[in-house]
Amino acid sequence: MTDKTGLKRQNTDIEMADAASTTTKRSASVESSQPKRAKHDFNSIVKAPTTVGNVFVFGTGDTGQLGLGEDMLERKRPMPLKVLDDQNIVDVVSGGMHSIAITKEGKLWSWGCNDQRALGRSGEEYLPGKVENMDDVKIIKVACCDSVTMALSDEGKLYCWGTYRCAEGPLGFSREKAVQDVPALFEPFNKQVIVDIAAGTDHCLALTKDGRVYVWGNGQQFQLGRRIIERHLINGLRPESLNLKNIKVIGTGSYHSFAVDADNKIYVWGLNNFQQCGLADEDNDPAPNVITKPTIIKSLQGKGIIKTVQGGEHHSIVLMEDGSVYTFGRADSDQLGLPAELIERVQTREKDANASSFKKAVGIPTKVPNLTKVTEIATGTNHIVVTTESGKAYTWGFGECYALGNGSSDDEPIPNELTGQKLEGHKVIRVSAGAQHSMVLATI
Asked if residue 197 has pLDDT above 60, the reply is yes
Nearest Cα to Cα of residue 1 among 313, 292, 267, 347: 313
Q: Higher-confidence residue: 26 or 51? A: 51
Asked if residue 418 has pLDDT above 70, the reply is yes
Q: Higher-confidence residue: 91 or 21? A: 91
What 3-state class would DSSP assign to 40?
coil
- Average pLDDT value for residue range 323-352: 93
What percentage of the chain reaches a pLDDT higher than 90? 87
Asked if residue 21 has pLDDT above 70, the reply is no
Distances (CA, A) of 170 to 68, 151, 179, 233, 236: 29, 21, 9, 11, 13
- Average pLDDT value for residue range 174-178: 95
Asked if residue 33 has pLDDT above 70, the reply is no
pLDDT at 230: 92
Asked if residue 7 has pLDDT above 60, the reply is no
Residues making up the chain, counted from first to last: 444
pLDDT at 407: 97
At 362-379, the pLDDT tens digits run 999 999 999 999 999 999
At 74-117, the pLDDT tens digits run 999 999 999 999 999 999 999 999 999 999 999 999 999 999 99
- Average pLDDT value for residue range 196-220: 98
Indicate the range of 69-73, 352-356, 431-435 predicted with least confidence. 352-356
- Average pLDDT value for residue range 45-61: 98
Residue 72 banded pLDDT, cuts 50, 70, 90: very high
- C-beta atoms surrounding 421 within 10 Å: 8
- The answer to whether residues 315 and 365 touch, using CB atoms and an 8 Å cutoff, is no
